[in-house]
Chains A and B, each alone.
Chain A
Amino acid sequence: MSAPVVKVENLKKWFPVRMGLFRSIMGGKELFVRAVDDISFEVKLKEIYGLAGESGSGKTTTGRILVRLISPSDGKIFFKNQEISSLSDRALKPIRRKMQIIFQDPYESLNPRKYIRSIIEEPLLIHGIVGKEVEDRVYEGMENVQLTPPEEFLFRFPHEISGGQRQRVAVARALVLKPEFIVADEPVSMLDVSIRAEVLNLMTDLRDKLGVSFLYITHDLALARHICDNLAVMYLGKIMEKGPTEAVLKEPLHPYTQALISAVPIPDPTSRRIAVSVKGEIPSPVNPPSGCRFHTRCPAYMGDICRTKEPPLIEVAKNHYVACHLHVK
């Protein structure tokens, strides 16, 4: 068993809701958006760990906390056995080199006024790398993402290259510091179908070749299935189910996971899927439902216990965890 690269314990992020003057004078109770509410998982070496869920489930917030773009409200984050959840910015800087993030939209995450070269070399300059090494690393990074020959791209602007190429520039920018862990936040959702595979295969190749671990954030279970080793399904800030990807998707235990899977259309006109049995939409994370957060939409709702008691995340098969009263013995 390889040691985890990143480990998260009881992580929480509550964003305060801004209150009006009147309510704060009248002593109204302070409200929080419980974006991430007590989750734990670990990403192992050379692993692509998937974090799936609908919008508003807290997956992006989790990704941002992991690279400490925002600080957690509570809980611990370990990066290779070092706790980083409360480090100061200065103490964090050497660790930031080892953790990078790729954002969702390559049309917005690259500075339109900079050459591709400047975009890719910026992290190097920030971390005080100078001289010949900058050029070497930029070339190496571009070759790793198959932006070849690099000379052809160095002095182009982001608008002069295609969406897939842009996302590869974003990957190259994340790679130049030789990170050990990358958070990829929906890296292909803005790309056309025919070029998605190119970016995803690039991620698996980098994992195999350079030993980079990834946290892959997605709403698309079909894509997750093809590249993730392990998968966690989030709903309203909680992990509902986690385990090896094939186990979670082939034998889903949580009614929410089952609903998500049945909602994914299958590109085969001869296969008929079962109609979605879940009604309604994801409730507000400001006042999440009591007990199990999914009970308001759950097709297997069992009454009082689901409404009042929060189910613990328990291991039902090897490494396969689920938080549902159906599986509490």
Chain B
Amino acid sequence: MALLRIQDLKAYFTTRSGSVKAVDGISFDVEKGKAMGLAGESGCGKTTTALSILRILPSNGKIIGGKMLFKKWDLARLDEEEMREEVRWKEISIVFQGAMNALNPVYSIGHQIVEAIMLHEKDVERQEAWDRAGKLMELVGINASRLDNFPHEFSGGMRQRAMIAMALACNPSLFIADEPATALDVIVAAQVLQLLKELKERLGLGMMLITHDLSIIAETCEKAAIMYAGKIAEYADVVTIFKNPQHPYTQGLIDAFPSIAGERVRMISIPGTTPDLLRPPPGCRFHPRCKYAKEICKTEDPDFSQIERGHFASCHKVVAEAKGQKW
């Protein structure tokens, strides 16, 4: 049984101009000790998915359907009290995009980690919490003596490490990282990703990595889901996603991605732009940009179907071809 199983999750935002279907029926699993990469362009619903799992959507956002099975709970239906007391931070924690700028500048790093521990585990003594904070710092590769430092005394990469330490403060079993390396320089980003990989293996964490950078997923994750306009276009293990992508969007994204290795080729972009989720196109949401689109794509929304063991896609063409029909 997966650590976290998302089934047909729907989260909509209410705005003055109508309802935005930011996440519209997605399903995936996160396993213990494994990393699941959620990739997609800006506005495709990656972050909304993370906020839904932690049930911290902004006030105009609402989970309107689906299940989020985690241990003995269904997070979609869990009451707020239990969510706060039992799940958030103790079981599931998150590091947000640009999190290193989220540290409070007037408190020392140690104070902030200790605060996180004592808030969630009421029976822990202050001294014990400081000791734990020191161990956490060592875990993410910072000397424990720097607990007394303030955020401005840390570099960007160290602040990001401190945020990761804080997220691990209560021994969660699931760790969500939303664009953990985006605001960092290449070398520092590589160090942080290396750290996440080590932590996942050492602590047996289930990890969900949200990023727009496919190459990061290729290097750190075991499974990947490619999101487009609130839906999952394709979902499989990383090798399948990169070596045998089936959905035209996945194929397009991979072609649009430059590599420092291999042949030097002219990059290919996907024509058009991502749709406005207030008024998504009818049928398959990708059809206006898809070179294989036919009549059925314009009218019928494709199901998220399994095309081979562990490999899912939402595409009429892929399903037809899997059945041996010609497209």
Is A bound to B?
yes
Q: Which residues of A contact B (CB under 8 A)?
A: 54-55, 162-165, 192-198, 200-201, 204, 219-223, 225-226, 246, 249, 259-271, 273, 275-276, 278, 280-282
Assembly CA distance A262 to B252 (angstroms): 25
Name the B residues within 8 Å of A280 (CB-CB): 155
> Are B193 and A265 closer than 8 Å at their CB atoms?
yes
> Are B41 and A226 closer than 8 Å at their CB atoms?
no
Query: Given contacts A267-B242, A278-B187, is CB(A197)–CB(B256) below 8 Å?
Result: yes
Query: Given contacts A193-B253, A269-B219, is CB(A261)–CB(B266) below 8 Å?
Result: no
Binary per-residue interface labels of chain B (234-249) against chain A in the complex, 1 for a CB within 8 Å, 0 otherwise: 0000110111000000
* Distance from B230 Cβ to chain A, minimum over Cβ atoms (Å): 16
Assembly CA distance A197 to B270 (angstroms): 8
Stretch at the interface among B1-9, B170-178, B208-216: B208-216
B190 interface contact, C-beta 8 A = yes
> Are B260 and A194 closer than 8 Å at their CB atoms?
no
Assembly CA distance A197 to B253 (angstroms): 10
> Are A265 and B190 closer than 8 Å at their CB atoms?
yes
Name the A residues within 8 Å of B189 (CB-CB): 263
Give the residue of B185, B212, B259, B267 whose beta carbon is less than 8 angstroms from that of A268.
B259
Give the residue of B212, B256, B258, B273 whose beta carbon is less than 8 angstroms from that of A225.
B258
> Are B185 and A193 closer than 8 Å at their CB atoms?
no
- Smallest CB-CB separation from B181: which chain A residue? A265
Q: Count chain B CB atoms within 10 A of each CB in A197, A267, A270 and give the residue with the most.
A: A267
Assembly CA distance A194 to B216 (angstroms): 16
B residues 188-244 in Cβ contact with A at 8 Å: 188-191, 193-194, 212-216, 218-219, 238-239, 241-243
- In this complex, how many residues of chain B approach chain A with their Cβ under 8 Å: the count is 45
- Smallest CB-CB separation from A275: which chain B residue? B194
Give the residue of A226, A262, A269 whose beta carbon is less than 8 angstroms from that of B239.
A269
Query: Given contacts A223-B258, A226-B267, is CB(A194)–CB(B215) below 8 Å?
Result: no
> Are A193 and B218 closer than 8 Å at their CB atoms?
no
Assembly CA distance A150 to B253 (angstroms): 28
What are 14 sample pairs from A and B whose C-beta atoms fall under 8 A apart?
A163-B273, A193-B41, A194-B253, A196-B267, A219-B185, A222-B215, A225-B264, A263-B190, A265-B216, A266-B259, A267-B242, A268-B261, A278-B187, A281-B155
Assembly CA distance A223 to B191 (angstroms): 21
> Are A266 and B219 closer than 8 Å at their CB atoms?
yes
